[in-house]
Amino acid sequence: MTAYPERLTIFGCGNMAGAMLRGWLADGMDPASVTVITPNGTKVPDAIHTLKSVPADMPSADMLLIGIKPYMLADLAKDIAPLTGPDTILVSILAGVDVATTRGFFPDSGPIVRAMPNMAVSISKSPIGIFSEALDKAQHDMVDGMMAALGSAEWLDKEELIHLIIAVSGSGPAYLFRFIDALAKGVADLGLPKIQADRLALAMVEGAAALAAKSGENPGVLADQVASPGGTTRQALNVFDDGAALDRLVHRAAKAAYERSIEMESEARE
C-alpha cells in the first residue's frame, strides 16, 4: 500500500494538481490528511479541507505540492513560504522553474522535488520525470511510491533532462491527440462518416498502445511486423518513411517544446 504523508498541503489546485489529487484519492489516500489552498476558489474533490488563504497558525506541511501557474510563483511565494519547514518535502510541478530558483523562494524548506507528470495521472497512466535534492531513504520511498501510484516514476540524474521529459511525455499527449484527429480527418475526407472515423481512430490508438506496452518490443519493430510487403499498411508507412518525413516532423515538434522549456526556465530566473 502506498505510504502518504500525515499532512499533505496543496497550494493551487488547477488541472494538473487536481488530477494528481484525484489519482491519489483513488489509490486510497485519506482525504482527511489533505488541505488544499486555492486562492481563486477552484473546485476540489468532496471531503477535502479547502481554504482560500493560509491561516496564520497553520503548521508547516509534511509534504507541500505547489500547483500554481509558473508565472504566479514570484507573487505568491511569500504566501506559500509559511507552509514550509526543514522537514517539509516540497514538490513542484511548475514547468520552467528549476530547483535552484524554487530554493531561492523557499530557503527554509526541506528537500525540493521537481516532478513533470501529464494529465494521465488521474487514471494512473502518466510517465513522471523526477529530479530532486538529496532525500533520505524514507523520503525517497514516499515520493517514489506516490508518483508510482499515478503512473511510472522516472528518476533523473541531471535536472536538465527535465526539458526532454517535457518534450516527450509532458507535451506528448497533445501530439497524440492531434494525430488521432488527423487520422480521423484523413479517412473522413475519403468518405467515412466523421463520427465513425473519430470513434475508430480513438479505439485503434487505445488498442495499439496497449499492445505496444504489453509486447515489450520496440515500436518501430512492431510497425514493420504488421506491415506485409506490398500490403496496405506498408503502402501507408512508405508515405511516413519517404525522406524520413514523420521522423523529421516529430523531431521538429519535440525540439520546439524542448527549446521553449529551456527558455521558460531562463525567464523564471530573471
3-state secondary structure the chain: CCCCCCCEEEECCCHHHHHHHHHHHHHCCCHHHEEEECCCCCCCCCCCEEECCCCCCCCCCCEEEECCCHHHHHHHHHHHHHHCCCCCEEEECCCCCCHHHHHHHCCCCCCEEEEECCHHHHHCCEEEEEEECCCCHHHHHHHHHHHHCCEEEEECCCHHHHHHHHHHHHCHHHHHHHHHHHHHHHHHHCCCCHHHHHHHHHHHHHHHHHHHHHHCCCHHHHHHHCCCCCCHHHHHHHHHHHHHHHHHHHHHHHHHHHHHHHHHHHHHHC
Instruction: Residue count of the chain, please give it.
Output: 270
Q: Are 141 and 153 in contact (CB under 8 A)?
A: no
d(CA 154, CA 18): 21
Closest CA to 48 of 84, 87, 105, 9: 9
Strand partners, 65: 10, 91
pLDDT at 181: 98
pLDDT at 44: 87
β-strands 89-92, 112-116: how paired? parallel
d(CA 256, CA 59): 42
Cell of 86: 526543514
pTM listed for this prediction: 0.88
Q: Are 120 and 94 in contact (CB under 8 A)?
A: no
Burial of 192 (0-12, 13-18, 19+ CB in 10 A): middle
- For residue 173, what are the CA distances in angstroms to 12, 121, 183? 23, 12, 15
pLDDT at 104: 95
pLDDT at 1: 74
pLDDT at 166: 93
Q: Are 33 and 86 in contact (CB under 8 A)?
A: no
pLDDT at 207: 96
pLDDT at 40: 80
pLDDT, block means (10 residues), the chain with 270 residues: 93 92 94 92 85 92 95 93 96 94 96 95 93 96 96 96 94 95 97 98 96 93 94 96 96 96 85
